[in-house]
Amino acid sequence: MLKLYNSLTRKTEVFTPLTPFQVGMYTCGPTVYQYAHIGNFRAYATADLLVRTLKFHNYQVHFVMNITDVGHLVSDEDTGEDKLEKSARREGKTAWEIAKFYTDAFLKDYDALHLTRPETLAKATDHIQEQIELIKRLEDKGLTYVIADGVYFDTSKLADYGKVSTLDQIKEGARVEINEEKRNPRDFALWKFSPKDAGKRDMEWESPWGLGFPGWHIECSAMSMKYLGETFDIHTGGVDHISVHHTNEIAQSEGATGKQFVKYWIHTSFMLVEGQKMSKSLGNTYTLSDLKQNGFNPVHLRYLYLQTHYRQEMNFTWESLEAAKNAVDRLQNIISSWKKATQTSHEANHKYDEKFKEALSDDLNTPQALAVMWEMLRTDISQVEKLATLLRMDDVLGLGVRFLLQHSKRNLEPIPEVVQSLVTERNKAREEKDYTRSDMLRIEIKKLGYEIFDTSEGVSIKKI
């Protein structure tokens, strides 16, 4: 049985979908005004892991993700400038050009991390009418009011507002000035009016309430319910969304329908960098491009994500990324040593397949799943069986084992005799515990264009 921690009930529960073996899942996607950083991608990696795990458990998954290309203001309290408009002014482009550029950049990085593409990728600007219709439903139920800058949801009309968080987490005035026109500090914008003194916006639409644009929260409710129904199985995102965005999604969705919005809420914890919060002022909001410039590839980051449980705070360091890189290299070297590794028709080993599934079923316990993988690789089962088992595991882990296999085979050209001789000499030095000579021989081997690795499977040689 697959068990997941549900942020709504604050406990781990056996997952039971609304429809047997069919799952509707929605993930909060990016606001496309800048490059996504490695902290952002941790939450998307969790969503991908969940989709892969559900499929591993034989569920059919309709996976939906939004692209926020309008309406996300610089403050969570519905004040300040739209992030897309602000980025457009900074870069000398239109908001539409900014949205396209950063959407394309996001999807390129998304694919590089081997993340599962959603069946439905929904842009807020493509669903303006759906958002207007949802606001009208709320208006008809007496849950809205209009003030100078827009249409707002009246949270006092909903008895269980804030049930996915605690109300003391939903505070106003921490980062922005208070809007004195709001009836309640926690009320939030559904539709914002275009500022009359700021010139024409790039993105604005006519509505029953006047010219303007949708608030940030309404898009997720309108689009998720359009594609998954008024009640669906799973909603994921980062823990930073709980107290405001997801709280407001629940309020407006359930206020409109009178039904439970989502059964299971899955949230990914924060990522620190060298023990500090990620921020532009500290210069530590690293992107995949930054990692590549330092000699790493996206698979190394993916492995690093898997080493920490998604509900645990993660601390990124360059040393930990280097260790993840070494683990991926080690995996490739093991595959390189398998002479029969192209024979992939064998069934997976039942014992390790079940142990792996058991780890995943325990609220996506990827550190344990990785431990099972390495345990399997150390056993004395055949190379063919190991590969079949590893490929099945990689359907969830997403490390690109098939690519590693192909890459390894390309490197399996005959090793020159002089290199083989040096390797034999180095092995003898290691047996005699002459590690100084062993290191010197490793350097000589490297000068000849080969790198040597010591693995639990023995010595592996790779052409540089």
**Residue recorded with tokens 């009016």:** 193
Residue where a domain terminates, one of 241, 268, 295: 268
DSSP 159: T
Residue 50 pLDDT > 80, yes or no?
Answer: yes
The mean per-residue pLDDT over the stretch 445-449 comes to 86
For residues 38 and 47, is the Cβ–Cβ distance under 8 A?
no
pLDDT of residue 167: 46
In terms of residue numbers, what domain contains 440?
A: 413-464
111 and 247 in one domain? yes
For residues 59 and 16, is the Cβ–Cβ distance under 8 A?
no
Cβ neighbours of residue 210 closer than 8 Å, sequence gap 6 or more: 193, 194
For residues 39 and 52, is the Cβ–Cβ distance under 8 A?
no
Residue where a domain terminates, one of 268, 284, 301: 268
Q: How confident is the model at residue 68 (pLDDT cuts 50, 70, 90)?
A: very high
DSSP 242: I
For residues 105 and 90, is the Cβ–Cβ distance under 8 A?
no
Do strands 150-153 and 188-193 pair parallel, antiparallel, or not at all (unpaired)?
antiparallel
- Burial of 272: CB neighbours in 10 Å, binned 0-12, 13-18, 19+: middle
Q: Distance between the two ends of the chain, CA-based, in angstroms?
A: 45
Q: How confident is the model at residue 408 (pLDDT cuts 50, 70, 90)?
A: low
Please state, in angstroms and rounded to a whole number, the distance separating the CA atoms of residues 280 and 309. Answer: 26
246 and 200 in one domain? yes
85-89 LR contacts (CB < 8 Å, sep 24+):
85/201, 85/202, 85/203, 86/33, 87/33, 87/34, 88/202
The mean per-residue pLDDT over the stretch 56-84 comes to 91
312 and 247 in one domain? no
Q: How confident is the model at residue 173 (pLDDT cuts 50, 70, 90)?
A: very low
For residues 249 and 220, is the Cβ–Cβ distance under 8 A?
yes
The helix or strand, by DSSP H or E, that contains position 424, with its residue range, turns out to be helix 417-431
**Two structure tokens written together for 122:** 């929904």
Radius of gyration for the alpha carbons in the chain, expressed in angstroms and rounded: 26
408 and 421 in one domain? no
Q: How confident is the model at residue 280 (pLDDT cuts 50, 70, 90)?
A: confident
**Residue recorded with tokens 């930990």:** 320
pLDDT of residue 388: 92
Q: What is the pLDDT of residues 294-338, one digit of tens each?
A: 999 999 999 999 999 999 999 999 999 999 999 999 998 888 888
174 and 86 in one domain? yes
What is the CATH classification number for the domain harbouring 85? Answer: 3.40.50.620
Residue where a domain terminates, one of 268, 291, 317: 268
Cβ neighbours of residue 119 closer than 8 Å, sequence gap 6 or more: 62, 63, 64
pLDDT of residue 153: 97
257 and 231 in one domain? yes
From the list 155, 216, 164, 230, the residue with the least C-alpha distance to 186 is 155
For residues 294 and 318, is the Cβ–Cβ distance under 8 A?
yes
Q: How confident is the model at residue 198 (pLDDT cuts 50, 70, 90)?
A: low
213 and 115 in one domain? yes
Mean of all residue pLDDT scores within the chain: 90
Q: How confident is the model at residue 79 (pLDDT cuts 50, 70, 90)?
A: confident
Do strands 3-6 and 150-153 pair parallel, antiparallel, or not at all (unpaired)?
unpaired
Q: What is the pLDDT of residues 363-396, one digit of tens each?
A: 999 999 999 999 999 999 988 899 999 999 999 9
DSSP 362: B
Q: What amino acid is encoded at 132 in this protein? A: I
186 and 105 in one domain? yes
109 and 136 in one domain? yes
From the list 367, 377, 261, the residue with the least C-alpha distance to 314 is 367
Q: What is the pLDDT of residues 338-352, one digit of tens each?
A: 866 555 567 889 999
Q: How confident is the model at residue 172 (pLDDT cuts 50, 70, 90)?
A: very low
Q: What is the pLDDT of residues 113-135, one digit of tens each?
A: 999 999 999 999 999 999 999 99
423 and 367 in one domain? no
250 and 222 in one domain? yes
- What total of structural domains would you count in the chain? 3
Please state, in angstroms and rounded to a whole number, the distance separating the CA atoms of residues 210 and 285. Answer: 38
308 and 452 in one domain? no
Q: Give CA separation, 440 vs 429, 434, 436, in Å.
A: 10, 10, 6
